[in-house]
Structure 1
Amino acid sequence: MQPREDINCIIIEDESPAATVLQMHIARFPFLKLQGIFSSGTKALTVLNSEKIDLVFLDINLPGVPGNQFASTIKASTGIIFTTAYSDYAVQGFELNAVDYLLKPISLERFSKAINRYLTLYQRNSFVLPTVDKIDARPFIFVKCDRKTVKIFLDDILYLEAQRNCLLIYTESEVYRSYQAISEMEEKLPDTLFVRVHRSFIIALNKVKAYNSSYVVIRDKQIPIGRMYSSAILGIL
């Protein structure tokens, strides 16, 4: 059961892939109304001071003023859910009276629990939102392909290949053709799951069957590793 009123929220996150994951999770809850995405607390000040913002998803590791410092400037009536890649900040986050602390990469199930905490602590409803079923918790992106926009689950993607003026997205069952730039898609995909190995290829890390210094193998496809990407990729693999 959802709250009687919409909950206005914003994301303050300087890493585009992490912001995209949060945006996708927020979209799964109709009562969460995203009012903006900002790369720093300073850029979010105008919205926080001029509009009614109920909930802030705040990255602790922000450029300039860190999120844990910026949190002290946010009025007490606004809930804060911290996000970060470092577990060392958890205790500090709760000392700042945060609603919850989410460690990246953030699953939909864990995100749902944080929303439950917000609803309970801020008494937005006498019923706690049910946890989203794990089967329904698969993250996805929407991609414009030819004349329609399609939902593509991230765990279905094998790799992406740039070919002249189009981008081919190879999945477990089919190939999608999009006209987005590969660099644009690289920004949208979580860097914990996908990595660019060549100017023309992005791969899903968990789909790699084998690799050497020159290429990776996904299914029966040998995907070249570009010279400028080689040292970073081999370090990850």
Structure 2
Amino acid sequence: MQPPEDINCIIVEDESPAATVLQMHIAQFPFLKLKGTFSSSTKALSVLNSEQIDLVFLDINLPGMPGNRFASTIKATTGIIFTTAYSKYAVQGFELNAVDYLLKPIPFERFSKAINRYLTLYKHSGAILPTVDKTDTKPFVFVKCDRKTVKVFLNDILYLEAQRNCLLIFTEHEIYRSYLAISEMEEKLPDTLFLRVHRSFIIALNKVKAYNSSYVVIQDKQIPIGRMYSDVFNSTLRANVK
């Protein structure tokens, strides 16, 4: 496989330890070219205006202009990966069409997944493409279904089910049939909003009506929880129950 072309990136982070972790992770990818680390959004403006920056690692909680407000001023062709210690900002981050949302402290494996997502969205012609229209505040993905590519809004997705050689995407309004592998779709969906609960199922966490140790209920559908996924499912649901 041909290596990716160079990707110019910056870090906007006011906490020195968090910035250091990001710098160390970035250094593991030769194609990521770090052009600067800034402690506030205002300090980052100069390099964004003077250089071609492809990717911004952006903390939401910044002095002066918060990261979520700053993100809306960044041109649509620049990818944004949010970093923060607060999971409550996840949905807001994806409403701004962020590539990904990383919760501190950031493990290298999770950082790697975010980079792969960026490469898929911005650098390759894959089955799922990013939106670059920041006037559309509802996050969505384009998915190849049969002989056409359709826009699917993330908040409309109920669950996804792998069946034989196809993937069914169940939404509030209709069912889409794609020939993506469920693992490919799992890589594309934000894991703060979606969770794999079975080898054949991915669910939207905010659509869960009820659950027990064996299954989860979305609308009137009982979706089985696989044994190898049960621990992650239970810990994720506990984290979302206040």
Q: Is the alpha carbon distance of 1:83 and 1:61 closer, same or farther for their aligned partners in structure 2, counting shifts above 3 Å?
A: same
- TM-superposed CA distance for 1:101, in Å, is 0.1
- Is the CA contact (8 Å cut-off) linking 1:2 and 1:125 kept in structure 2? no
- TM-superposed CA distance for 1:124, in Å, is 4.1
TM-score, length-normalised on structure 2? 0.51
- 1:1-237 equivalences under 5 Å are 1=1, 3-124=3-124
- Is the CA contact (8 Å cut-off) linking 1:4 and 1:125 kept in structure 2? no
Greater C-alpha radius of gyration: 1
Q: Tell me what 1:165 maps to.
A: none
Distance 1:98 1:54 in 2: 13
Name the aligned partner's letter for residue 69 of structure 2. Q
Show structure 1 runs of 5+ residues with no match. 127-237
Q: Is the alpha carbon distance of 1:4 and 1:106 closer, same or farther for their aligned partners in structure 2, counting shifts above 3 Å?
A: closer
Residue by residue over 1:69-106, the C-alpha shift from the partner in whole angstroms, topping out at 9 and shown as x without a partner, is: 00011000000000000000000000000000000000
Q: Secondary structure at the match of 2:83?
A: strand
- Is the CA contact (8 Å cut-off) linking 1:119 and 1:125 kept in structure 2? no
Percent of pairs with identical residues? 86
- Is the CA contact (8 Å cut-off) linking 1:79 and 1:98 kept in structure 2? yes
Distance 2:7 2:123 in 1: 12
Distance 2:32 2:125 in 1: 14
- TM-superposed CA distance for 1:3, in Å, is 3.8
- TM-superposed CA distance for 1:125, in Å, is 7.2
Show structure 2 runs of 5+ residues with no match. 127-242
The structure 1 segments of at least 4 consecutive aligned residues displaced by more than 6 Å after TM superposition are: none
Task: Kindly tell me the number of residue pairs found equivalent between the two proteins.
Answer: 127
Distance 1:4 1:119 in 2: 8
Q: Tell me what 2:152 maps to.
A: none
Distance 1:47 1:65 in 2: 16
Larger RCO (CA under 8 A, 6+ residues apart): 1
